Amino acid sequence: MKYDYLIVGSGIYGAVCAHELSKDGRKVLVVEKRNHIAGNCYTENVEGINVHKYGPHIFHTNIDRVWRYVNQFADFNNFVNRPKANYKGEIYSLPFNMYTFEKMWGVKTGEEAKAVIEKQRAEANIGEPTNLEEQAISLVGRDIYEKLVKGYTEKQWGRDCRELPPSIIKRLPVRFEYYDNYFDAKYQGIPIGGYTSMIEKMLSGSDVMLNTDYLSDRENLDKLAGRIIYTGSIDAFFDYSEGHLEYRTVRFENEVLNQKDYQGNAVINYTDRQTPYTRIIEHKHFEFGDQEKTVISKEYSMNYTEGCEPYYPINDKKNTECYLKYKALSEKQNKVIFGGRLGEYKYYNMDDVIESALNMLETL
């Protein structure tokens, strides 16, 4: 066989595997069905700006080993995610913190903010919340619910908040201090030069074939390597024998604007129900760019249908049961290892996916 390992997918999971295995002297072939590497972290250079094509990706982690790991391949800038909400032209700070409460109610201290929330919670007279609306009001009061939660959540899920289960927002991050660092992670930043060049370095010791769908040429590709690491959708691997796993998906409308700045921040959520998109990403702000133009992406939530990008696994009872059937099938495949967000049907942040790949490699 020409290769020791065939890796299906050049996202961050596949790239970590490719780097570690080739460093260890194994011959590795990576096949990728898209026309580019880097999976959903892919950044594309448009007008000198690294555009996060599959959604904004902010690297954040508390795991020392993962932070040291990624720093081998890129220098990270000191970007900190401080998103804002735009409700009919009023700008609020996110996640909910004293800047948000001061703007909403004019309060200056945590005690005053807690008192307003408590009063609104009592007025709503909610016992055990039975839906998302009741859950949100009992956590943050009616004003914040109406202006910052309701419209955004309904756009995201395509349903009225009273028809959504309270479990979706079991916890809402609420800070009674002026602290607006969204992720609050030990390490945070954006790889200077974009994620694509970071992943390119990880793949440099391996052969890479783009525009190659493993599932369309499985018989021939299987013959090339002794073992396979598969990071595509697990249900597709088994030809959907146990049914289709469901996802939530989004789509982006990108615009290049002939102006230096559009919104003064990387991420702004549009929280009213009427604005059709959920947020606008202005990519240059991830890297403090001062280009003459700017690129923005409007993000729309959509129902998932076949052919859409599978973005967020829906880990409810039905899908979890379906996934467990596939997992049982995957455990019988001794030549194939399943990993990553599609292979394990799991929402993984980039740091989790790196750690998971490193842990898996240790077992090989």
Ligand X SMILES: Cc1cc2nc3c(=O)[nH]c(=O)nc-3n(C[C@H](O)[C@H](O)[C@H](O)COP(=O)(O)OP(=O)(O)OC[C@H]3O[C@@H](n4cnc5c(N)ncnc54)[C@H](O)[C@@H]3O)c2cc1C
How far is Cα 31 from Cα 332, in angstroms, rounded to an integer? 23
CA angle 231, 247, 229 (to 5 degrees): 5
Only one residue has tokens 């697990």, namely: 234
Please report whether residue 5 would count as binding ligand X according to CB under 6 A.
Answer: no
Say how many Å lie between the first and final Cα of the chain, rounded.
19
Please report whether residue 58 would count as binding ligand X according to CB under 6 A.
Answer: yes
Let me know: does 259 contact 337? Beta carbons within 8 Å. Answer: no
Site for ligand X in 207-226 (CB under 6 A): 213-215
Fill in the DSSP letter of residue 137: H
Instruction: Tell the burial category of 238 from Cβ atoms under 10 Å away from its Cβ (0-12, 13-18, 19+).
Output: middle
Please report whether residue 40 would count as binding ligand X according to CB under 6 A.
Answer: yes
Please report whether residue 141 would count as binding ligand X according to CB under 6 A.
Answer: no
Only one residue has tokens 């000198």, namely: 48
Please report whether residue 311 would count as binding ligand X according to CB under 6 A.
Answer: yes
Question: Judged by CB under 6 A, which of 5, 6, 7, 12 binds ligand X?
Answer: 12
Query: Nearer to ligand X by C-beta: 58 or 74?
Result: 58
Let me know: does 129 contact 138? Beta carbons within 8 Å. Answer: yes
Query: Nearer to ligand X by C-beta: 129 or 313?
Result: 313
Query: Nearer to ligand X by C-beta: 11 or 189?
Result: 11
Please report whether residue 9 would count as binding ligand X according to CB under 6 A.
Answer: yes
**DSSP3 helix / strand / coil % (the chain, rounded to 5):** 35, 20, 40
Count interface residues toward ligand X (CB under 6 A): 34
Query: Nearer to ligand X by C-beta: 124 or 224?
Result: 224
Query: Nearer to ligand X by C-beta: 101 or 345?
Result: 345
Instruction: Tell the burial category of 125 from Cβ atoms under 10 Å away from its Cβ (0-12, 13-18, 19+).
Output: exposed
**Which of the stretches 167-175, 187-195, 283-291, 340-348 binds ligand X when contact is defined by CB under 6 A?**
340-348
**Which of the stretches 93-101, 110-118, 315-323, 346-354 binds ligand X when contact is defined by CB under 6 A?**
346-354
Site for ligand X in 250-309 (CB under 6 A): 250
Please report whether residue 244 would count as binding ligand X according to CB under 6 A.
Answer: no
Question: Judged by CB under 6 A, which of 27, 33, 82, 325 binds ligand X?
Answer: 33
Question: Judged by CB under 6 A, which of 32, 133, 134, 246 binds ligand X?
Answer: 32
Of 301, 323, 132, 299, which Cα lies nearest the Cα of 246?
323
What is the Rg, in whole angstroms, of the alpha carbon atoms belonging to the chain? 22
Is omega for the bond preceding 310 within 30 degrees of 0, making it cis? no
CB of 300 to ligand X, least distance (A): 12
Please report whether residue 110 would count as binding ligand X according to CB under 6 A.
Answer: no
Let me know: does 147 contact 87? Beta carbons within 8 Å. Answer: yes
Please report whether residue 31 would count as binding ligand X according to CB under 6 A.
Answer: yes
- Residues at the contact surface with ligand X, assessed by CB under 6 A: 8-14, 31-34, 39-41, 55-59, 213-215, 231-232, 250, 311, 340-342, 348-351, 353
